[in-house]
């Protein structure tokens, strides 16, 4: 599926079908990087009764986990190149 179709399907699910709640507005931009694939930055405004107001609300909707290690070489590359380590007091020299 081409990028334009994926983008439109995502926007339709969110804005027309209301899978995250009723929206009142949205805005997005597509960013093209020199060494990466294009990606979308999306801001969504929800009706008051559908806003995420607490960290627990956000956690109930968004999570990220590493998949099971089915290919150790690929898993190692994803872990090394697509994630970052600790920041703050655990790694004070982190940019």
Tell me the C-alpha distance between 26 and 66, whole Å.
30
95: its two tokens: 């940019």
Query: What distance in Å separates the CA atoms of residue 34 and residue 38, rounded to the nearest whole number?
Result: 9
- Mean local confidence (pLDDT), 49-64: 88
Does the model's pTM come out above 0.85? no
Is the backbone of residue 88 left (phi > 0), alpha (psi -120 to 50) or beta? Answer: left
Segments making up each domain of the chain, as ranges:
3-65
61: pLDDT strictly greater than 60: yes
Closest by CA to 23, choosing from 54, 4, 45, 6, is 45
Res. 45: pLDDT tops 90: yes
| Mean pLDDT score, 47-58 | 92
pLDDT in tens, 74-88: 888 877 887 777 777
pLDDT at 1: 56
Structural contact between residues 43 and 55, judged by C-beta atoms closer than 8 angstroms: no
Q: Give pLDDT tens digits for 9-41.
A: 999 999 999 999 999 999 999 998 877 778 899
46 CB-near residues (< 8 Å, 6+ apart) = 20, 21, 22, 23, 24, 52
């Amino acid at each position: 599926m081409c990028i334009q179709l994926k983008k439109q399907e995502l926007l339709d699910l969110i804005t027309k079908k209301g899978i995250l709640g009723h929206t009142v507005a949205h805005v997005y931009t597509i960013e093209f990087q020199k060494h990466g694939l294009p990606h979308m930055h999306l801001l969504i405004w929800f009706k008051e009764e559908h806003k995420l107001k607490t960290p627990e609300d956000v956690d109930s909707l968004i999570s990220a986990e590493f998949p099971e290690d089915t290919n150790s070489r690929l898993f190692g590359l994803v872990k090394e190149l697509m994630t970052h380590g600790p920041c703050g007091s655990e790694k004070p020299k982190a940019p």
